[in-house]
Structures are given as structure tokens and as C-alpha cells.
Structure 1
Amino acid sequence: MSKNTVKPALTPKPRTKRSRREVETAQFDAFVRRILRAYARRVATGDVEALASLTALSAEVDAMTRLAVAGLRGKPYSYSWSEIADRLGVSKQAAQMRYGERTDRGALDRRLLEAGIGVTVATLVQVFADHHPGIPAASVCPGCGYRYPEQVLDCPTNATVRPLLLRRRGEDRDALARLTPVQFEDLHKANHTKVTRAARRARPEPPTSAYRATSLFDLAGKDAL
């Protein structure tokens, strides 16, 4: 039997299976933030055509958050809406309206439906705050997931709440004080616009200078004494 002349150093070793690397959620978070900052810097260097794609990422994040919430709500985790809302920093109703079933998105807030005509100013204030688009305005309502049409920044819920809260704002000053300065100013903006328009209509028109011709050939009134 001939001697084995194959040199072990030249013979490839069988590839061993690499152990799976566990990546912590915090590392994912840091990685995504770095990517977003790099994307923003790239757009800022003059790529104006990519601006629309950059802003569209907010809708992608919203959709992925909805998937994450659905997973947390399902088995084996079965987190309650209260637990999810606590992590999101919103009310239970707002979390359920935004990340619940698609049929709920854009529907009137359940707090309004449950209270009916007996709704309190405090409830109106809380609902208005939960569904406020924020500054800068989001592309979808943070309270119910309603996608704002062009030039519209009120979801169906706040379109209902806004006039009610404006009309009843004097009934509970303490509740109204819970609005942030931005929300408070936005609530009164519509009312201020109406007042401004009414004042403009009531303002007398400035007198217009009239020319009177003194002769047949003086049509511009230049010969007036």
C-alpha cells in the first residue's frame, strides 16, 4: 500500500458550523438610527429626489410597529393594550385605535361613542391630545392611524372633538390646562381664523378716489378745480 503523500496543510478542513450570533434589541436600535442619519446626510448633500422616499419611511416604521404590536398581543406573550399603551406613552384607547384592527383606524374614538352626549371636557381634552398630529405634523394620526389627506390635519375624531371642545372650553379650565402649548394654540387657531375673517368683513371699505370729468375731453378728471 502506497504512502499518503497529501500534505495536511494544503488540504482544506471541513467547514465547521458557525455559532449563531445573538444581537440585542438595543444594537438593532443603534444600527437603524445610524442608517437613518446616514440617509439624511446623503439627501442633504443635494439628492432632492430622495426626499420623498425619506419621509415615506415614517409610514414604514408605523407599519412595522403595527406588526410588532400584533406579535406582542398574540400568543405566547399576550400583552394587554394597557401594557402596550404604557410603553408607547399613550392612552389604552389611543393604542388600540392606532394599532388594532384595520377597521378601527380612522373610526371615532371609542371614548366619544361610550360617553355620548354626556362626554366631559376632560375626556374631550384627552381625546384631542391623543389624536393631535404634533409639530411637525405626522403623516398619520397618532391616535387612530388615519392617513391625512392633502392639506388636512384632523382625523375624523378630532374633526368632531375640536368644535365641541372650543364651545365648552370655559367649563373646565383645569382640564384645558393639560394641553401642551402647541395643542392649545392649534385648538384656538380655527376660532382665531373665524374671528379674523369676521372682523375683516365688518371693517368698512376704504373710500376710493373718484375722478369727475369737467369737460368732454377731460375723461380722467385732471381739470378738476
Structure 2
Amino acid sequence: MSKNTVKPALTPKPRKRSKREVENPEFDAFVRRILRAYARRVAVGDVEALQSLSQLSSEVDAVTRLAVAGLRKAPYSYSWSEIADRLGVSKQAAQMRYGDRTDRGALDRRLLQTGLGVSVATLVQVFADHHPGSPAASVCPGCGYRYPDGVCDCPTTATVRPLLRRRRHEDDDAVARLSPVQFADLLTTKSRSPRATAVRQAAFTALIPDRPASLFDLSGKDSAS
């Protein structure tokens, strides 16, 4: 074996490629381009991929929850008010949707705190925070409750809808803050699946466990106006 006669001092070391830091706005734009490209690929006839594409919304919700969890921890320790402000929702809605897993799908704290004394303004805000939207999302935007097939009510919405429908004339200004889609859904008396009825009944029991259910018309029917 021949002896290595190359002098290390005369042989330049290979340069290490500097790591390029990608700013979050650039990364955000990159992700959006990927999503649009994916949609275009599905649009040219790949109907089987449509389901996978639609399920990305659930993935976004899951990774947003991870991001929020990181922002809540030290050394950042952002408050729920600060996080809710960036998400464009109320503090309670942000906390219920992205907080501890045991809170997801639980009855909104604003209802538990006020009980029978809940105001129409609070009912309106809670209903708006938990409304599934149009088209309906796969999970509740207010608490993260995953809707079963054929159901677009989380326990909170199932509880609030009949109460707010009956009491809407008590505060016209508060009700006017609902979007047209939310208001139309509030007045809808379409029959709901047995699963939806069970969710509504269970939610009502959690709200007022020591009162008879006959206090309110849980069938969703309006009293004569």
C-alpha cells in the first residue's frame, strides 16, 4: 500500500454548506402552493383522491393544536386571550378547541357557569362560536368535537339551539350579530337523527342535572309567536 504523500496543509477542506433559514411567511407560501398543486392533480380526474384531500382540514386542525400547545408552554407562555386574538375567535372557543383533550366536545363553560341565568347575548355568542359553518366542517370549530355521520351538532350547539330559538325575541340586537347562515340554521326545524337527539338530551342533562327536562322544549319546536 503506497504511502499518502498529500500534505493536509496544502489540501483545502471542503466547505460546509451553510444552512438556509426559511422564514415562516416563505414556508406558509410553500405549503399553500403544495395544497393548490394537490387540488389541481385531483381536479384532472383523480376522484379517488378527493377524500384524502378533504381530510387535510382535520390534519390542519391537529397540527394547529400542536402549535398552540407549544405557544402555551415556557418560555413563550402565550395566554389564551392572545391566541384567540390571532385565531379570530373568543377566548373560550380557543381554549375549548385547542386546550386539553378532555375539554373537547364538553359543554361550553359559559353555559355551565350561568345555568338557567344565561343571557340571550351569551347564547348568541356560544351558538356562533360552535356553529359548524356552511359547508359544515368535520369537527366543531368551538370545541373540536368530531361530528358523527349525519350529525352537525356538538353537545353545546345541540343544547343552545332550542334555548336560543325560544328566547331570540328577548334581545333582537344580540341575535342580529348572527350571520345569515347561522340565523337560518337557528330557525330550521328540520328533523334530526336519533343520534342528534341523544346528543342534545345528554348535553341538556349536563347543563341542568337537578332540573326536569320539561323546563324547556328540547324538541326544538317554537312556542307560538
TM-score range, shorter chain: 0.7 to 0.9
* Deviating 4+ runs (over 6 angstroms): 191-195
| Identity %, equivalent residues | 78
After TM superposition, give the deviation of residue 119 of structure 1 in Å: 0.2
Cα displacement (A) at 1:71 = 0.3
Higher RCO (Cα < 8 Å, 6 or more apart): 2
Who is 1:153 aligned against? 152
| 3-state DSSP of counterpart to 1:96 | helix
Structure 1: give runs of 5+ residues left out of the alignment.
196-225
CA distance in 2, matches of 1:48, 1:95: 34
Tell me the TM-score normalised to structure 2 length. Answer: 0.79
Partner of residue 125, structure 1: 124
Taking the TM superposition and a 5 Å limit, the aligned residue runs for 1:42-57 are 42-57=41-56
CA-atom RMSD in angstroms: 2.3
Give the greater-gyration-radius structure (CA): 1
* 2:207 paired residue number: none
Structure 2 partner of 1:94: 93
Q: Secondary structure, in 3 states, of the residue corresponding to 1:169?
A: helix
Counterpart Cα distance in 2 of 1:18 and 1:12: 18
Aligned counterparts, 1:70-149, within 5 A: 70-149=69-148
Alpha-carbon distance, 1:123 to partner: 0.2
Shift of 1:140: 0.4
Displacement of 1:15 after TM fit?
A: 2.1
Equivalent pairs, count: 189
Shift of 1:189: 1.2
For 1:106, the aligned partner's letter is: G
Distance 2:169 2:124 in 1: 12
Distance 1:191 1:42, change over 3 A: closer
1:190 maps to: 189
| In structure 2, C-alpha distance between the alignment counterparts of 1:12 and 1:49, rounded to whole Å | 57
Evaluate the alpha carbon distance shift between residue 50 and residue 12 of structure 1 in structure 2; reply closer, same or farther with a 3 A threshold.
Answer: farther
1:140-219 correspondence runs (5 A) = 140-190=139-189
Aligned to 2:38: 39
**1:168 alignment partner AA:** R
Kindly state the Cα deviation for residue 137 of structure 1 after the two structures are TM-superposed: 1.1
Offset of 1:171 from its aligned partner? 0.6
Q: After TM superposition, give the deviation of residue 12 of structure 1 in Å.
A: 8.1
TM-score, length-scaled by structure 1: 0.79
Give the drift of 1:192: 9.7
